[in-house]
Amino acid sequence: MNVQVPNLNHPELQDQIVGRLERVEELLFQQVQGSGELVDPLTKHLVSAGGKRMRPLLVMICGLLGETPDEEALIRAAASVELTHLATLYHDDVMDSAPQRRGVPSAQIEWGNNRAILAGDVLFARASRLTAQLGTEAVDYHAKTFERLCLGQLNETFGPAEGQDKVEFYLQVLADKTGSLVASAAYFGALYSGSSEEIQSAVSTYAERVGVAFQIADDILDLVSPGEVSGKTPGTDLREGVDTLPVLLLRARAARGEGDNEDARILDALAEDLSSDVALSRVVEMLVNNRVIDETRKLARKAIDHALEALEPLPQSEAKDMLVQFAELTIDRAV
């Protein structure tokens, strides 16, 4: 199995991590097969399409923190977290009617909505079976994480309550729907390396904040990344009427009566039909040149700084270095 891991500047540990991640890949592929030649291509679809495997990598970095690593448990936990992530992607792509995922047609484009929903369910069942091998606490933690993740997505569909701060609500949704599963990766890594509860808790907090930063960076990339890199047209979220963080910040400023003429022009443009590429690229360009992009970058930076603060209880170590770098890499692409 070929595993691509960003350089984390500690070659020896890096080799150990790569070795463990190769075994995670093997286990992942094993978990999405065995149900016949019609079903297997569907359940294998997203695993085969690749992906950054950011969550398994985080399990393995945190797996270096304790003195008594249980390699089998680390590998199972990493595969379970990634399978859970993939299960949610099957359902997300149905819910968003997404045409593509990881550069290949999404499952519901190739197999239809019903099979994509069922494939997500099957992957979640298999993730549960893997965690069952780790013990009841792992199962409860895993199920609790999945529950929080789904509730985050549900809350997102309902929107903030009357009078609730929209930016705060948005950041909470990111913590629930993305941060929670990233946090579970760090938690399992620390747990199965034999770290103390204090360390388990510290890296969970760190990872939840890194997950939030990652999503904020995604909001920036939706606007600034060239289509060839992201595989998406810049501004796709805007076209779908999703209020990403830059737009929320703009609206918040307008609501406070602090918006200028340029801000008003952007908000007007957002309310128009953005189905033509000309209209979309015009509003994207205005947004990219607006100060909200810098504000958004600052919020990503703040989330990362906040994540690094959570690492304070960890004594200096190469693994801690790697966690710092992992956090920086998360937003590097966008800031």
User: Where on the chain is the footprint of a copy of itself (CB under 8 A)?
Assistant: 35-36, 38-39, 42, 91, 94-95, 112-115, 117-119, 121-122, 124-126, 128-129, 131-133, 135-137, 139-140, 142-144, 146-147, 150-151, 153-155, 157-158
Nearest approach, Cβ of 191 to a copy of itself (angstroms)? 16
**Closer CB to a copy of itself, residue 240 or residue 262?**
240
What Å distances lie between residue 295 and 3, 124, 330, 331, CA to CA? 35, 37, 18, 14
Nearest approach, Cβ of 146 to a copy of itself (angstroms)? 5
**Closer CB to a copy of itself, residue 90 or residue 206?**
90
**Closer CB to a copy of itself, residue 14 or residue 215?**
215
DSSP state of 289: T
Nearest approach, Cβ of 135 to a copy of itself (angstroms)? 6
Chain-centre distance for alpha carbon 52:
10
Nearest approach, Cβ of 84 to a copy of itself (angstroms)? 10
Q: CA triplet 100, 102, 103: central angle to 5 degrees? A: 65
Q: What is the DSSP string of 66-134?
A: SSS--HHHHHHHHHHHHHHHHHHHHHHHHHHT-SEETTEE-HHHHH-HHHHHHHHHHHHHHHHHHHHTT
Nearest approach, Cβ of 260 to a copy of itself (angstroms)? 35
Nearest to 85, CA basis, from 10, 196, 180: 180
**Closer CB to a copy of itself, residue 60 or residue 183?**
183
Give me Rg for the CA atoms of the chain. Answer: 20
**Closer CB to a copy of itself, residue 121 or residue 262?**
121
292/259 Cα distance (integer angstroms): 11
**Closer CB to a copy of itself, residue 150 or residue 311?**
150
Nearest approach, Cβ of 100 to a copy of itself (angstroms)? 19
Q: CA triplet 187, 188, 194: central angle to 5 degrees? A: 95
Nearest approach, Cβ of 101 to a copy of itself (angstroms)? 17
**Closer CB to a copy of itself, residue 124 or residue 206?**
124
N-to-C CA span, the chain: 32
